[in-house]
Structure 1
Amino acid sequence: MDGAATPVSTPAAGETLTFGQTIAPKAFIGLSLKNGLLNIVTLTLYRFWGKTEVRRRVWSHVTLNGEPFEYTGKGKELFFGFLLATVFIGLPYLALVLAIQFVSPLFTLLLIPVYIAAFVLIGMAIFMTYRYMASRTTWRGVRFHLRGKAGNYGWTYLGYALVTGVTVGWFAPTMTMRLAERIWGGMSYGDQKITWKRANSQNLYGPFAIAWVVGMVGYAAMIGAVIAMVSTRMQTGGEPGVAFMFQVYAMALVYALILVIASAAYHAAVLREIADSIHIGEARLALDVKAGALLGLTLTNLLILVFSLGFLQPVAMARSAKFLIQRLTSAGLAPLSDARQAPRGPKTGEGLADAFDVSLF
């Protein structure tokens, strides 16, 4: 009997994204002590291999759809990147300082373009760190890849920093999101592009305004208190001593803690907004981070670092990774099985980042 054919629905291509982690921060204590002791023995040169081992362990305990990520970076790549940065940036800067001291004070004028170049280089360092880490991160044997040029990102970073300065910090939330777009909008898994669609789901300027006001009022109060203390000592004929310096440091510590607390809601909103704006195919990410939980993580990590004199930094890193991954979810389908291999990536690591002490992980 003739009849119209029943249409067959074709399932949407792709797979749902389920993130998992089995990170045990306590398991990083032994590695932390090992890295710390070897850094002392090698005058910190072991840090490149230590950082690589920490990343390798963290990556291996993070899964996507039940399959672990793999970090393929090598310590020698970070070391050679550091050597290149030292030769091409550190030595010229040292030569300029020596020229100012021993040749002519006129060389001081060159410090202006040096300071400008420093902002560009910091931006380049951030981009190059993301690019290197992406190229050394694989899943199912396929590498991640970051498109774009470090120089373009560096100049953009400088421009945004200048606007932020002119606006007394009020451009900072916009700067953060635009720079995040340049990173995540240029990222891909193999040849499958990760797209950036600004969600505008978070009110960034509300919590930022609270942090800004607290920061400005607190800073003015601290400076006023220091001036009053100095004035009192001058009137009584005393001079600032050790006790005075301890008082200043104590006030600075209190100010820093208040600022961290006041900024927690803003930083949590930024993390949520960045996650909401990242899309892989039809899949979109979400990060359930609340200000209180983020503040607790930040303060406990600071305590760990302070009381361990920095030795337990890998433990703090593992705690941060665990905190984020266990709150990361996704909705929609991503065509990950269609991904083809991405380019190899840079040969050396994060030399600029190490030179400017810019570390993402």
Structure 2
Amino acid sequence: MTDATAPASGETLTFGQTLKSSDFVGLGIKNGLLNLVTFGVYSFWGKTATRRSIWEKVSLNGEAFSYTGKGLELFLGFLLGMAVLLVPYVAVVILTMVNHFFLLLMFPLYFGFIVALGAAVFMAFRYIAGRTRWRGTRFQLIGSPARFGWSYLGYFLLMLVTLGWFSPAMTMRLSGKLWGGLAYGDKKLDWQRSDKEGLYGPFTLAWLVGIGGYVGLIAMMVPSMAAQAGGAPDLALIGRLYAFLLVYIVLVVLASSAYYAAVMRAVIGAIRLDGARFSIKVTAVELIVLSLTNALILIFSLGFLLPVAEARSARFVLSRLSSTGTVDLSGVRQAPAGSGSDEGLADAFGISTF
């Protein structure tokens, strides 16, 4: 895009979408069948086709986004990511066969995997940003995957030491490094957290439900297992355990959904672009309904309708997303092209930022 094509300053931002589940059924069937005959290799091209279809049905101020990623980029990036993960592991295994002393290398290797996982999250986010365009101008993510990876490791260790209580802080700090480093062309977004995020209230409830259920499960199992040692299985006990697990899962989902809804509100609310501020109206019940219906779609379609679930998730967010204030886009300049292999490490880990 040239500077001459940029709109006048002081725009308000209005999101729109024309996403319909029925539009993605055929794409899901096509992707699923091609994945079967190619033993999953087509999944990278299928992911690209799904994103392209979703992006073109999402608009900002009446102008659609576009996705320029390629399946071959994802595939080659995946191969590179697998090499990055497997080569060190195989090397340590071979060295261990020579001398068991080399087992000590497993500890730094595990820490290295956590750093790589963090870097993979950053690089996948950067890839999607660099392959997303609006008004012909691409987005970019400014920052270092290595620094993000080391931050991820540090926060992860703090989360372990605090028995999970650092998790909300970890989520917000890592989100800040991603969204605070995002830019439209050369216009960078800002990250300004609120003093009233309200995360630790719902997190406390989810944490107590999770720990309480785990302790209750152990309390049910240990005495009965000791009494039945060497004897026939107690079918009544097995039935009670399964019933308890079902109730436990339901309670964890209910409690966790309130926390994840709060996280969505806090993250979106911290994003700024000039004078534009963003917000999202989402509740725990709405998240539960979305997650449950998407899960049922995937289960009963044997995974074929994954594009439908992704389109429904995008529609869920966009229909609740709003913006206030204005932003000056008159002087935006094109961002440099990013690497085509960025998302490969994330695919190797089996994670996705979308």
Residue type at the aligned position of 1:49: W
Q: Which of 279, 284, 306 is equivalent to 1:286?
A: 279
Which residue of structure 2 aligns with residue 238 of structure 1? 232
Please say if 1:66 is aligned against 2:65: no
1:277 aligns with 2:273: no
User: Residue 183 of structure 2 aligns with which residue?
Assistant: 188
Q: Tell me the alpha carbon deviations over residues 100-143 of structure 1, each in whole angstroms, 9 at most, x when there is no partner.
A: 4x444333222111111111011000000110000000000000
Q: Structure 2 matches for 1:247-258, cutoff 5 A?
A: 252=245, 254-258=247-251
User: Which residue does 1:8 correspond to in 2?
Assistant: none
Q: Deviations over 1:25-77 (max 9, x none)?
A: 22212211211121121111111101111110111110000000000000000
Q: In 2, are the aligned partners of 1:122 and 1:358 still within 8 Å (CA)?
A: no
For the 8 Å contact 1:173–1:205, the answer to whether it is kept is yes
Partner of 2:344 in structure 1?
351
Of 70-79 and 106-115, the range deviating more from structure 2: 106-115
Matched, 1:265 2:261: no
Structure 2 portions without partners, runs of 5+ = 1-7
Q: Paired residue for 1:23, among 19, 25, 45?
A: 19
1:70 and 1:335 map into 2 onto residues whose CA distance is 21
Shift of 1:314: 1.6
The amino acid across from 1:149 in the alignment is S
For residues 144 and 198 of structure 1, the distance between their equivalents in structure 2, rounded to whole angstroms, comes to 22
Match of 1:149 among 144, 151, 155: 144
SS at 1:337's partner residue?
coil
Structure 2 counterpart SS, 1:286: strand
Match of residue 215, structure 1, among 207, 210, 213: 210
- 2:74 matches 1:78: yes
Q: Find out whether 1:122 has 2:95 as its counterpart.
A: no
The partner residue of 2:37 within 41, 59, 77 is: 41
Unaligned stretches of 5+ residues in structure 1: 1-11
- Rate the CA distance shift 1:86–1:13 in 2: closer, same or farther, 3 A: same
In the other structure, the counterpart of 1:9 is none
Give identity over the alignment, percent.
51
Measured in 1, the distance between the counterparts of 2:283 and 2:61 equals 25
What residue number does 1:165 align with? 160
SS of the equivalent of 1:338 reads: coil
Aligned-partner Cα distance in 1 for 2:30–2:228: 48
SS of 2:303's equivalent? coil
Cα distance, 1:233–1:260 mapped onto 2, change above 3 Å:
same
Q: Secondary structure at the match of 1:234?
A: coil
Where 2:39 maps in the other structure, the secondary structure is: coil
SS of corresponding position for 2:168: helix
Are residues 53 and 252 of structure 1, via their aligned partners in 2, closer, same or farther at CA, if it must alter by over 3 Å? farther
Aligned-partner residue type, residue 352 of structure 2 = S
Equivalents in 1 of 2:50, 2:241: separation in Å? 37
Pairs aligned (count): 347
Amino acid at match of 2:84: F
Per-residue deviation, 1:261:
1.1
> TM-score under structure 2 normalisation?
0.92
* SS in structure 2 of the partner of residue 285 of structure 1: strand
2:48 is aligned with 1:52: yes
- TM-score with structure 1 length normalisation? 0.90
- Going from structure 1 to structure 2, the CA distance change for 1:240 and 1:203 (only over 3 Å counts) comes to same
What corresponds to 1:5 in structure 2?
A: none
Who is 1:298 aligned against?
Answer: 291
2:346 alignment partner, SS class: helix
SS of the counterpart of 2:10?
Answer: coil
